[in-house]
Amino acid sequence: MAENVLIIGAGGWGTAMAVLLARKGLAVTLWARRAEFANELRRTRENLPFLPGIGIPANVAIVGPELPDFSEFVCCFAAVPTRYLREVFSKIGKAYPATLPLVSLTKGIEQETLLFPTQILKQCTGAKNVLSLSGPSHGEEVAQGLPTSVVVAGDGFGKELQKLVSTPTFRAYLTDDLIGVELGGAAKNVVAIAAGGLEGLHLGDNAKAALLARGIAEIARLGVKMGAQERTFFGLSGVGDLYTTCASPYGRNRGFGVRIGRGEKPADVIASMEMEVEGYNTAKALVALARKHGIEMPIAEQVERVLYHGADPHKALLDLMNRTLKAE
């Protein structure tokens, strides 16, 4: 008998995970927040707004907004953008069984509380086993069956989750560094906006290489101060995820940055995009988190200035180049 899994959130990544696990033979239930969207997914068997061109297998049951019976499932995945995560899971919280493992597929930092997704989920549900699945994993490529490697972080269900999600094209590694994995997954989106800005300004590959190298360095500085393991930031959920997000044509944060570099206003670009740009909201939270811990993050600070204080992108990048000279 197939294992039953539940995915809360029917965006591109939630749908891609549903496709991946269904192809493995699991019985998947995909929950959508809006009834009309759930009906459209059932009718077309394709997520046209967020994952076009990929058929949703027959063993994916699509429900929503009513919640299914949680007792049917061995695991639940949260695939809701950070800014909606508390709202969605606060409504689910009372019905959520404490013993049902809960896996965050979300990458970000909540602006109001500076909490990571697993911390929000713990507050909202009281689940005993809350984990994170992260790494370089664009949903478009996962759904196409292209080779992907990710990291599973958290206690209590890690080995079981590793086996549950792994397939011949989707490999999961284990780590106990939950802070490092979640910080890497959140902060790389902010650096990706800067990388896109470089492209939009036609400033070349040398500049982008320097940005990635210095970006991972400042992320690691903050992570170590928060208790993470430095090596995490030079693995899949650190430099691996950072590279993919800064280089891939699927990268929404990179694409957002490209448009800003070309002269568009951040608010106008956000208003025109249907898919969530996690780095936009994360930038302000990341800078606040760094200041809380007394860590300097010049790239994140310049991105936040451009997004929220009207700073000129070209001048912001020149300011980074003209900082006081020091050892690497």
- Smallest CA-to-CA distance from 133 within 17, 278, 213 is with 17
Helix, strand and coil content of the chain, in percent to the nearest 5, comes to 55, 15, 30
Long-range contacts of 68-73 (CB under 8 A, 24+ apart): 68/6, 68/29, 68/31, 70/6, 70/95, 70/96, 70/97, 70/100, 71/97, 72/4, 72/6, 72/29, 73/4, 73/5, 73/6, 73/29, 73/100
Distance CA 280, CA 142 (A): 24
Ordered alpha helix ranges (H), the chain:
12-24, 35-44, 82-92, 117-125, 139-143, 158-165, 178-200, 205-225, 241-247, 252-261, 266-272, 278-292, 298-309, 313-321
User: Contact at 8 Å (CB) between 63 and 36?
Assistant: no
Would you tell me how many other CB atoms lie within 10 Å of the CB of residue 3?
14
Phi, psi (rounded to 5 degrees) for 193: -65, -45
Largest distance between two CA atoms of the chain: 63
Beta bridge partners of 6: 29, 76
* DSSP letter (8 states) at residue 56: P
Contact 134, 237 (CB under 8 A): yes
Q: Give the pairing type, strands 102-104 and 130-134.
A: parallel
- Provide the annotated active-site residues: 188
